[in-house]
Amino acid sequence: MGSTPEVLAQRSCGKLIGTRLLQYLNGGPLSFKTHQAIVLIVTFFAYASYHATRKTTSIVKSVLDPQSAATGLTFFPFRPTNFTESNGSKRLSSNLGDGWAPFNGSDGTSLLGELDVAFLAVYAFGMYFSGHFGDRCNLRIFLTVGMLGTGLFTSLFGVGYWGNIHNFYYYLVVQMIAGLFQSTGWPSVVAVVGNWFGKSKRGLIMGIWNAHTSIGNIAGSLIASAMLSYGWGWSFVVPGLITAFIGLAVFLILPVTPESVGAREEDEFSGPIKSGEEAAEPLLRQETPVEEKEAVGFIEAWKIPGVAPFALCLFFAKLVAYTFLYWLPFYVSHTAIDGKYLSSETSGTLSTLFDVGGVLGGILAGHISDHLEARAITAASFMYCAIPALFFYRSYGHVSLIVNGALMFVTGMFVNGPYALITTAVSADLGTHKSLKGNSRALATVTAIIDGTGSIGAAVGPLLTGYISAKSWSAVFTMLMAAALIAGLLLTRLVVSEVATKIEESRSNRAQDCSLNV
pLDDT of 281-307, one tens digit each? 444 444 444 445 555 566 777 777 778
Banded pLDDT at 333 (limits 50, 70, 90):
confident
Q: What is the mean pLDDT of the chain?
A: 79
Distance of alpha carbon 111 from alpha carbon 62, whole angstroms:
13
Where is pLDDT greater, at 268 or 202? 202
Question: What was the pLDDT predicted at 235?
Answer: 94
φ, ψ (nearest 5 deg) of residue 273: -65, 140
Per-residue model confidence as pLDDT tens digits over 180-209 = 999 998 888 888 887 887 665 666 777 788
Residues 6 or more apart whose CB falls under 8 angstroms from that of 96 comprise 62, 63, 66, 333, 343, 344
Contact 12, 260 (CB under 8 A): yes
How many CB atoms sit inside 10 A of residue 1's CB? 2
Note the pTM of the prediction, 2 decimals.
0.68
φ, ψ (nearest 5 deg) of residue 185: -70, -60
14-66+101-261 and 296-510 share one CATH topology?
yes
Banded pLDDT at 434 (limits 50, 70, 90):
low
Does 14-66+101-261 carry CATH code 3.40.50.150?
A: no
Distance of alpha carbon 96 from alpha carbon 437, whole angstroms:
58
Which CATH number does the domain 296-510 belong to among 1.20.1250.20, 3.40.50.300, 3.30.300.30, 1.10.10.10? 1.20.1250.20
Per-residue model confidence as pLDDT tens digits over 35-87 = 889 999 999 999 999 999 988 988 898 888 876 333 333 333 333 333 333 34
Domain assignments of the chain as residue spans, ordered by start: 14-66+101-261, 296-510
